[in-house]
């Protein structure tokens, strides 16, 4: 069993497709074991995306991520990290396979509907960035 962090980004929240995104995870056999709706501020968003600091898209990314509420959630299941990434599709929705979350719900590489951890190491860091151990209802 593996856990991974998922964020439903401001564009997907404002399009009212939170449930549709979560349905993709549940239909793939993944379970939501922690979830909350929050509005990130500049410091929290910058810290979360620290690995991208200095890249040309960093400021736009941070400003976008604080533009509205997001859902942060922990997803659990066999191979959850890879499964989540497959369900999300390519970072750039124009390159994402049909049927993936980004192909179906995202508009651009910036407003790309969802974030998912890309490795076990980042999942560990990203989950603990938003949740305490006792906030995960592992089952």
Q: Cα dihedral sign for 131, 134, 137, 138? A: positive
Which candidate in 115, 116, 117, 126 is catalytic?
115
112 part of the interface to ligand CMP, by CB under 6 A: yes
Read off the tokens for 66: 């604080």
Contacting ligand CMP (CB under 6 A), which of 18, 32, 82, 109? 109
What are the backbone dihedrals phi and psi of residue 98, each rounded to the nearest 5 degrees, phi first? -55, 140
115 is catalytic: yes
| Cα-only R_g, the chain | 14
110 part of the interface to ligand CMP, by CB under 6 A: yes
Q: x/- string (CB under 6 A) for ligand CMP, residues 3-42?
A: ----------------------------------------
Contact region with ligand CMP (CB under 6 A), list: 79-87, 104-112, 119-127, 130-138: 104-112
79 part of the interface to ligand CMP, by CB under 6 A: no
Choose among 31, 37, 44, 34: nearest CA to 127.
Answer: 34
Helix (H, G, I), strand (E, B) or coil at 102: helix
Residues labelled as active-site residues:
115
């Amino acid at each position: 069993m593996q856990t991974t962090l998922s964020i439903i980004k401001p564009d997907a929240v404002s399009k009212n497709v939170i449930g549709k995104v979560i349905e993709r995870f549940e239909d793939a056999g993944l379970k939501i074991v922690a979830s909350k709706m929050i509005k990130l501020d500049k410091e929290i968003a910058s810290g979360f995306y620290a690995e991208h600091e200095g890249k040309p898209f960093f400021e736009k990314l941070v400003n976008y991520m604080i533009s509205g509420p997001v859902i942060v959630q922990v997803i659990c299941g066999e191979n959850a990290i890879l499964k989540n990434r497959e369900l999300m599709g390519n970072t750039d929705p124009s390159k994402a396979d049909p049927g993936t979350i980004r192909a179906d719900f995202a508009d651009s590489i910036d407003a790309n509907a969802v974030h998912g951890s890309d490795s076990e190491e980042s999942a560990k860091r990203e989950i603990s960035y938003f949740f305490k151990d006792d906030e995960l209802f592992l089952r």
